[in-house]
Amino acid sequence: MLLELRIRNFATIEETSVEFGPGLNVLSGETGAGKTIILSALGLLLGERASPDMVRAGEKEAIVEALFELEGEAPIPELAERTRDGKNRELLIRRVVVVEGGRSRVSIDGEMATVQSLAKLGSALVQLYGQHEQQSLLRSESHREVLDRFANLDAALAEYREVFDRAVALRARLKDLERRERERADLLELARFRVTELERAELVAGEDQELQRERTVLANAAKLAAAAGESESALSGDDGAALDLVRAAETRLVEAAAIDPKLNNALEMIRTARTNLEEAARTLGAYASRVEADPARLEQIENRLQELTRLKRKYGGSIDAAIDTLARSRGEIAELEGIAESMAEVHAELNAALDALLALAKKLSAARGHAAEELGRKMEAELKTLGMRSVAFEARLGTIAAGEGEFVHERIAMGPVGLDSVELFMAPNLGQPAMPLARIASGGELSRVMLALKRLEAQRRGVTTMIFDEVDAGIGGAVAQVVGRKLKQLARFHQILCVTHLAQIAAYADRHFTVAKEERRGSTRSRVRLIDNATERTEEIARMLGGDVSEKLRRAARELLDRAAE
């Protein structure tokens, strides 16, 4: 059950806190006052999409929080992994929408969460019925979803969809193999050419980089030899070379260190320097004698680099990519040479998948058939309590046409949700034949049909909180009073939140909130207030009846309230 909703800087709401209670909670107010904004804020906590436009003008972020009581709730798998002490049966959901970048942050009981997990949790906590859902009943495509929700077929549909997706993938694989079989000769010739060319090249990873370094050395051989030779001469050449000076210093310090041992450290460093300089002179001499111009080798390297550049451009931009192409081409040759066997294997896998898919589709169809009969009986009972005393209601199952299915197996067409088509039929009055709902239902009848469907769905799913956004669309008078009474009856088993314009419905409220809009300091604010005394309640009901409140409307309002209290 929803205990409290707190909203800050959301649309025209600056800050408000609404404490809901059990039973029927009604929100009323003038058109445009902000009633739907309350439900939009609640929708955010149920996983609906957030937008920076939701943030109140001039503010940086909007915050929406809701506190739920889980006592009496059906088991919620989404909460199973969360640590709970067994006594704390309250759940706090918080969502923040930020203007900068439009980011949205979600937390559940203080832990970060994703919008996807929030949506799953929200559907287990609350059932939201918006104005658009009534119109969806006019589309027969939505009727299958109505029946499936009533029948609790989520798990069965997920199992079916998994096999369906596998069959789609296998069919795509088979079509690809059939295409490759038609193009087999050309593909084999191309793959064999790639393998021959790349094998002949004898590619080695990193070879191009090594050749680049060698080419640089050969191209600068004379300069490198001169540098090495001149450096060797500076170290160990004629009189005055570095080594001669170091040796002289060493000789002098040997004599001096014999007198003062404190010079031994300096002497040791000079000896080390002499050893390093002698090794450097030998290395430079060897390098200078070895480095020489080799035009033939340089030309060989240039040719090899040109070949490698051509192959890199052709096969992915690098030697590693070319080597990978060689491995793939070898595998492609093996596959193409065994394509007939591969086609047979995939074909067998596809047939097995379609057998499994058909079995699951028939299982779904049987479940829908049983659910359709039960839905018809229960809907008739519900609609009779809503003033449709002689109504007949049924969900009729058919099979989808071959052109509508993704697969036809054993002469049966199957689509993403099975083999069935579903359409809701109704006869509102005694003696009338049942006709498609979309063809005969009036606005008031549609409202009652949707209310009855939502009641049955919530009953099946164990959801304790139901939210109705203007369930009164298209109704009035006696029908509105019937709907109000039905909502009151529902509120004995579910917490109901209802946005309404009709006094006949609002009169049945256990808690009545008004939403009003006011302009202060150059900005517009919506505020929510609980009507907690009889006088204010009468005034609001009278306003809903006629706009400009008069004594006559007050008497009518009191009569409505008295009748609702009976």
Residue predicted with more confidence, 294 or 453: 453
Per DSSP, 415 falls in state B
Residue 408 reports pLDDT greater than 60: yes
**Quick one: pLDDT at residue 473?**
65
Give me the mean pLDDT over the 336-363 stretch.
90
Residue predicted with more confidence, 442 or 383: 383
Give me the mean pLDDT over the 223-249 stretch.
80
**Quick one: pLDDT at residue 414?**
94
**Quick one: pLDDT at residue 83?**
43
Encode pLDDT of 449-494 as tens digits.
888 888 787 777 667 788 888 666 666 777 788 888 888 888 888 8
Question: Strand 104-108 and strand 90-98: pairing?
Answer: antiparallel
Residue 192 reports pLDDT greater than 60: yes
Q: Which of 98-112, 156-170, 430-444, 469-483 has the lowest mean pLDDT?
A: 469-483
**Quick one: pLDDT at residue 131?**
60
- Taken in order 224, 230, 231, 233, the sign of the CA dihedral is positive
Spatial separation of the C-alpha atoms in residues 308 and 331, rounded to whole Å:
23
When the pLDDT of each residue in the chain is averaged and rounded to a whole number, the result is 85
Using a pLDDT cut of 70, give the percent of the chain over it.
92
Residue predicted with more confidence, 29 or 372: 372
**Quick one: pLDDT at residue 8?**
92
Residue 368 reports pLDDT greater than 90: yes
Q: Which of 55-69, 462-476, 543-557 has the lowest mean pLDDT?
A: 462-476
pLDDT band at 396 (very low <50, low <70, confident <90, very high): very high
**Quick one: pLDDT at residue 165?**
96
* Domains in the chain with CATH codes: 1-136+446-532 (3.40.50.300), 188-336 (no CATH)
Residue 407 reports pLDDT greater than 80: yes
Spatial separation of the C-alpha atoms in residues 480 and 504, rounded to whole Å:
6
Residue 117 reports pLDDT greater than 60: yes
Spatial separation of the C-alpha atoms in residues 190 and 49, rounded to whole Å:
50
Encode pLDDT of 13-26 as tens digits.
888 899 999 999 99
Residue 87 reports pLDDT greater than 60: no
Residue predicted with more confidence, 365 or 70: 365
Give me the mean pLDDT over the 237-243 stretch.
75
Encode pLDDT of 180-191 as tens digits.
777 777 888 888
Place of tokens 């309230």: 561
Q: Which long-range contacts (CB under 8 A, 24 or more apart) does 477-485 make?
A: 477/504, 478/387, 479/387, 479/444, 479/448, 480/504, 480/505, 481/563, 482/386, 482/387, 482/448, 483/386, 483/447, 483/448, 483/451, 484/508, 484/564, 485/564
Using a pLDDT cut of 90, give the percent of the chain over it.
25
Q: Which of 355-364, 414-423, 435-444, 505-514 has the lowest mean pLDDT?
A: 435-444
**Quick one: pLDDT at residue 19?**
92
Q: Read off φ and ψ for residue 21, nearest 5 degrees.
A: -130, 180
Query: Residue 481 in contact with residue 545, Cβ under 8 Å?
Result: no
Torsion angle, alpha carbons of 348, 350, 356, 357, to 10:
-160
Give me the mean pLDDT over the 284-293 stretch.
78
Residue 217 reports pLDDT greater than 80: no
